[in-house]
Structure 1
C-alpha cells in the first residue's frame, strides 16, 4: 500500500509528542473579586476543570492504545488483496476489549478525550478497488448514554445521522459494520459512559452491548466505574472471560509523586493568585481532603473560594480548604474520602461501598505510598488534636481570633515520618520478634494474695 498508510500512526507513538498534544493549560482566571462570590466560584471551577496534565498512567495508556490501533491498521492494509477481501467479505472476529476502570472523577474520561486527540485525523484515500476516494477514520467513538441496546449503537455506526432503511437485524448490522470499518480503516473502537446504561438496566444489558461491540472485531476500549465492574464480575464465566481479562486500572496519583505536584501547581497558577499557599503544603492538604481525585479537587477549591469570601477575603488559604471540607456542600464527598482512607489502611473488603472498592486485586506496591500517606496524616491529626485539647481557654480563643483574621494558626510540632517498612525475610522477622520479646516484653506482675 502507499506511504500514507505506512505513516498513518507513526507520528502518534512518541511519548513527548503525546504529552505536548494532550496537555491543557488554560488561561488564568481574572477579576474574580469583582463578581458575586457564587458566580466567581463557578468561573474558577470551570477553568480548573479544563486542566489536563497527563500522568504516567495516562501517557502509557494512550501510547498502548495507539500502538494497538497501528498494528490493526498494518494488518488491514497489508496488501491490496488483503484489504479487498476484508472489505467485500469481512471476517467474523471477536476481540477481548480493554476495560479502563477507576474511581469516579479520577480522570478516565479526560484520558479518553486525550487519546482521541492523538489518533490520526480523517484523511482521503484512493485505490483501484473503487472509484473516487474514501475517508479513512482512525477510530469509532460511542457513548452508551441513552442507548438501549447494542443494536442501537450499530445503527449509529452504519446509518450515522441518516435515515434508517427498513427493519434490520443485529446480524445484518454487524456484517455491515465490519465491512464499513474495514473499508474506512477504522482501527480502534471507544465506548464510554457505560455507567449510564448500568442504572436501572442491570449487568445483562451492559454485557449485551459490550459483546455486540466486541463482535465487530476492532481493538476496543470500554470505560466503566468500579460498581459496574463488580456487577460484570458476577456474570457467567464466558462473559467474564470475554470482557474482564484485560483491565487497566486508573488509580489516583501518589501523594508524593511529581504528577500530583504538577497538577496542584497548575491549579495554583490558573487561580492567578486567588489561591495563596505553598504548593507543597497545598498538595498535602488537597490530597488529604480529596484522596487525589481531581474532580473532588475542583469541588473543594470551588467551595474554598466561597468560604474565603464569607471571611471577607479575596484569596484562599489552607484554613478555607479545611472549612470547605467541613461544609454542607462537600459533605457527601468528604464521606467518600474518609471511606477511601479507611479502605487504604485495611485490607478487608466490605459488602458496602462497592463503588469505592477496586474489583481487581492490586499489587501491594501500587498501594504502599497511599497507605503510608494516610497513616502519617492520621498520626499528625491525632497529634494536632491532642495539642489543641491541651490549650487553655484563653489560648483557644486566641487561635479562633487568628482563624477569623485569616492568619495561619501555629501548627503542632509534627513528628518525623517513619521510615518505610522493609520487606524482611522469614528469618529476619523471627529474629526481630525474638529481639523485641527479649528487650521490651515483660511478664505482668502477679496480684498480691
Structure 2
C-alpha cells in the first residue's frame, strides 16, 4: 500500500499533541455589566460551556481509541489483495464494543468530540483496482436518539435517506461491512444510547449495539449509569458482548491539578466577574457540584444572577452558596447530596441507580473524593456546634463581623418613604363626608304588590 495509508494516523497517538489539539480556551467575556441580567448570564454560560481541558483519563482514553483505530487501519490495508477481498467478501466478525460510562454531565460527550478532532480527516486514496480515487473516512459517528432499531441505524450509514423497503437487516449489514471496508472506516462511535431504552427496557438498545458491533471496526458507545444497570440485567451472552470493556469516567479529584486548572479557567473566562481566590472557589464549587462540569456551569451562572440581583457585578463565595440553595438548583442539589452520601457510606444499593456506578471501583480511585466529603462534613458539624454554643449577643456580634463592610459590596437599597403625618379630628371628619358624597344614592324602594 502507499505512503498515505502508512502515515494516516501520524500525530494522533502522542499525548502532548492530543492535548494541544483538543484543548479549548475561549475568550473572556467582557462588559457583562452593561447587559440585561438574563442576557449577561446566558453569555457567561455559553463561554463556560466552551471550556475543555482534558484530564488524564480523557487523554488516555483518546490515545487508546486512536491506537485501536490505527491498528485496525493497518490490518485493513495490509496489502492491496487483502483490501480488495474485504470489499467483495466482507468477513463476518463481531467486536466487543467499549462502553464509555459515567455520571450525567461529567464530560463524556466532550471527550467524544475531542476524539473526533484527533482522528484523521477524510483523504483521497488511489488504487489500481478502481478508476479515479476514493475518499477514506476514519470513523462513522451516529446518535442513537430516536432510532427505531439496529436496521434503521444500518440504513442511515449506507442508504443516505433512501427507502429501505427492499433491504432486510442481513442485506443492510453486509452492505455496511462492504462500505466500511471500502472507505477505510476504522472506528464506530455511538452516542446518547441512554435515550432509547424508554418503554422497551434495554431490548432496543441491545439490538442496536449488537448490530453495530457486527459491522467489524472497533466500536465505542457512550452511556449513563442508568442504562448500564439495565444492561446488567440482560442475559449473560449480551453482557459478555456489551459490558466486557467498560471505561468509567469519574469526577476529577477535588485536590487534583486538573480540577484546579478548570476552576482557574472559569475565573479567567468570567472576565473578572468572579472575586475570590481560585482555591476557595475550587473547594466551594466542588462541594456544591461533586465535580460535575455541567453543574459547575449552571451554578456559576446562577451565582452571577444572585450577585446582579444584589446590586453587584462580581460574584463571590456567598453568591455560590445562595445559588446552591436556590430553587433553580434544588433538583441538582438533591443529586449532589445523594452522591456525597454514597461516597461517605460506600453504598452499593439504593433507589438512585442513575447516580450509582454499576461497576466495582478500586479503593484508590475513590479515596480522594471520600476524604473531601468527610472533611466537608466534619467542617459543617464543627460550624454547627460552634454556632449552637454562642449566646445571643455573641451571635449578633458574629453576624456583624461576617456582614460585608465595603459600601461597594452592599446592595443598593431603595430609600425608605417618609412617614405620613398624624391626621387631626377635622381631617378625619372631612374625609368621612367626602366618602359619603362619593357614594351612589340608595335605590328607591319598590311598590308592594
Q: TM-score under structure 1 normalisation? A: 0.88
SS, match of residue 146 in structure 2:
coil
Task: Name the counterpart of 2:281.
Answer: 282
Q: CA deviation at 1:398?
A: 4.8
Is the 8 Å Cα contact of residues 311 and 404 (structure 1) preserved in structure 2?
Answer: no
Equivalent residues of 2:19, 2:59 under 8 A apart: yes
Tell me: CA distance 1:303–1:190, structure 2 relative to 1, closer, same or farther (3 Å): same
Higher gyration radius (CA): 2
CA distance in 2, matches of 1:39, 1:74: 51
- Aligned partner of 1:393 in structure 2 is 392
- Cα-to-partner distance string for 1:151-195 (whole Å, 9 max, x where unaligned): 11101101124x236421010000000000000000000000011
Superposition deviation, residue 406 in structure 1: 7.5
Alignment of 1:219-234 (within 5 A): 219-234=218-233
1:369-392 Cα offsets, whole Å, 9 max, x none, are: 101111011101111122222333
Structure 1 residue runs without a partner (length 5+): 408-449
Alpha-carbon distance in structure 2 between the residues aligned to 1:2 and 1:265 = 46
CA distance in 2, matches of 1:399, 1:157: 66
RMSD: 1.3
1:344 aligns to what?
343
Q: Distance in 2 between matches of 1:185 and 1:108?
A: 26
Is residue 48 from structure 1 mapped to residue 84 from structure 2 by the alignment? no
Report what 2:205 is aligned to. Answer: 206
Decide whether aligned partners of structure 1 residues 210 and 389 sit closer, same or farther in structure 2, where only a CA change above 3 A counts. Answer: same
* Structure 1 residue ranges (4+ consecutive) displaced by more than 6 angstroms after TM superposition: none
Q: Which moved more, 1:271-280 or 1:164-173?
A: 164-173
Residue 21 (structure 1) aligns with: 21
Return 5+ residue gaps in structure 2 as ranges. 407-449
Does the 8 Å CA contact 2:155/2:164 hold for their aligned counterparts?
A: no
Deviation at 1:405, TM superposition (A): 3.6
Give 2:109's aligned residue.
Answer: 109
Are 1:147 and 1:197, in contact at CA under 8 Å, matched by a contact in 2?
A: yes
Secondary structure of 1:396's aligned partner: helix
Q: How does 1:364-443 map to 2 (within 5 A)?
A: 364-400=363-399, 405=404
What are the superposed Cα offsets for residues 389-431 of structure 1, whole Å, 9 maximum, x if unpaired?
A: 2333344345545666477xxxxxxxxxxxxxxxxxxxxxxxx
Q: How many residues align?
A: 406
* Equivalent residues of 2:197, 2:203 under 8 A apart: no
Written as runs of structure 1 = structure 2, the 5 A alignment for 1:59-78 is 59-78=59-78
Could you give the per-residue CA deviations for residues 97-142 of structure 1, whole angstroms, max 9, x where no partner exists?
0000000000000000000000000001110111111100000000
The 3-state SS of whatever aligns with 1:365 is helix
Partner of 1:362: 361
Cα distance, 1:10 vs. partner? 1.6
Q: 1:282 and 1:296, CA in 2 relative to 1: closer, same or farther beyond 3 A?
A: same
Task: State which drifts further: 220-229 or 387-396.
Answer: 387-396
Which residue in the other structure is 2:12 paired with? 12
Q: How does the TM-score come out when normalised to structure 2?
A: 0.88
Residue 431 of structure 1 is matched in structure 2 by none
